[in-house]
Amino acid sequence: MTKRGLKIATIGGGSSYTPELIEGFIKRLASLPVKDIYLVDIDAGSEKLQIVAALAQRMAAKSGSDLQIHATTDRREALKDADFVTTQFRVGLLDARIRDERIPLRYQKIGQETTGAGGFAKALRSIPVILDICHDMEELCPDAWLINFANPSGILTEAVLNHTSIKAIGLCNCPINMINDMAEKFDCPVDDVFCDFVGINHLIWAQKVLVRGRDVTAEAIDKICSDSAKEIMANIPEIHYDPVFLKSLGMVPVSYMKYYYMQPEMLAECIAAAEGDGCRGEVIKKVEKELFDLYRNPELDTKPAQLASRGGARYSDAACSLIDSIYNNKKDIQTVNVLNRGANADLPYHAVIERNCVIDANGAHPLHIGHTPLKIRGLLQTVKAYEQLTIEAAVTGNYDAALQALTIHPLVNSATVARSILDDIVAENKEYLPQFNR
């Protein structure tokens, strides 16, 4: 990788998350010499792209650096000779997310953006798009790293790593949020906390929590039980684990695990929300409107605090730290989505796992896990099978694979309901799922 100023291409640059990403690069300019950031979006997102790009330019100017912000709808222009490509796109925009959340509710199943039937629908739309982006990268910037935080991040990253030649690493803000939450609970610096994560994207557990090298896992679980009114993920409903269950688990689960461990309660919450203020996608539409009203202010030249309510807090730290560590060959440990390659003895070799990895100039190298505890192994293997069938369905348009994927997902778990949901998804996403409409 050259030591000239770096070129970053951000696909989905008109996202409300972008100011946090720009902030992350500005904070690291001393060690990460970014020169050009190309913010890319589709024609339908061009208005938001211009608003976000103008704010990003003001942020860059305030920093006193020579960082250049470019806004374009020409993806190929942005990708040519890029050093890093970040992806944060949403195929179908928020209207598609709202459908993803409401279709399952028709059948008394949880509707959620990244897991279950909702995440399945998003994956079907998104996988062909990210593969198309990667085919452009193979031609225009074959040595670039793809840093993906478009959801469902693990599934999209696995599709890229198994169907293209692009070097890719997937990101999620859940691990970094869990670490920050532990630092708050133990009143210590974030750097003093180490969580031994095992699992896959949005299905991870901290097997061990260490503070300054001391195992505090049991204390962490006690603190969660006693301080359960505090949530670390803005987009997860505030329903709390039964302390007896959590202590029997003996690990700290990511907030998304509530959809699995507390399915009836979470379904009831989703139904109540949809009948009240609206599903999460509808709430986010209102939040986005307020954010873009702020972004339009020509006096605004920093990331507004209100962005935290969007649910994507600390993505910039995760993304920019990862890029910084690759560029500077840091050999530090971060939690990312990467090919298993035998690290987890209970999952396929070419599956993507979310794991503590050593980050260097050659990418992410997962720490060895061996076999996972029996109490989480079955759920982990089932959801991974769902993910791999979903990738097959998205790539080939195979209806049978899609039906089997949805049927075995623990949040659906019914062949008849899976078929009804699948048919609705295909019908209501027809323009985004050409592979099923040949």
> In this predicted model, what pLDDT tens digit does every residue of 239-287 receive, in sequence order?
788 999 999 999 999 999 999 999 999 999 999 999 999 999 999 899 8
The residue from 17, 38, 241, 256 that is catalytic is: 256
Q: How far apart are CA 319 and CA 293, in angstroms?
A: 26
Instruction: Report how many domains make up the chain.
Output: 1
Task: Return the H-helix or E-strand segment holding 104.
Answer: helix 93-105
Q: Residue 286 — φ and ψ, nearest 5°?
A: -70, -40
Please indicate, yes or no, if residue 28 is contained in any of the structural domains. yes
Q: Give bridge partners of residue 12 from the DSSP assignment.
A: none
> Which CATH number goes with the domain that contains 69?
3.40.50.720
Q: What is the pLDDT, as a whole number, of residue 310? A: 62
Residue 311 is predicted with a pLDDT of: 59
For residue 295, indicate whether it is catalytic.
no
Please check whether residue 96 lies inside any domain of the structure. yes
pLDDT at residue 270, as a whole number: 94
pLDDT value of residue 232: 46
Tell me whether residue 345 is in a domain: no
Residues of the chain whose pLDDT is less than 70? 1-4, 227-238, 309-313, 438
Alpha helices in 297-355 (DSSP H): 315-327
Asked if residue 328 is part of any domain, the answer here is: no
Q: Please report the pLDDT score of residue 303 as a whole number.
A: 86
Predicted TM-score of the model (pTM): 0.94
> Does the residue 111 lie in any domain?
yes
On whether residue 159 sits in a domain, the answer given is yes
Q: How far is CA 340 from CA 230, 355, 356, 406, in A?
A: 33, 9, 11, 23
- Residue 189, burial from CB neighbour count under 10 angstroms (0-12, 13-18, 19+): exposed
Q: Which residues of 396-416 are buried (b: 16+ CB within 10 A; e: fewer)?
A: ebbeebbbbbbbbbbbbeeee
Is residue 189 included in any domain, yes or no?
Answer: no
| Residue 125 within a domain | yes
The SS3 assignment for 313 reads coil
pLDDT at 229: 41
Contact 217, 185 (CB under 8 A): no
User: Tell me, what's the pLDDT at 305?
Assistant: 79
Token representation of residue 138:
């193979």
Q: Are 131 and 124 contacting, i.e. CB atoms less than 8 angstroms apart?
A: no
Which of these, 72, 17, 79, 83, lies nearest to 49 by C-alpha position? 72
Which range marks the domain in which residue 24 is found?
6-170
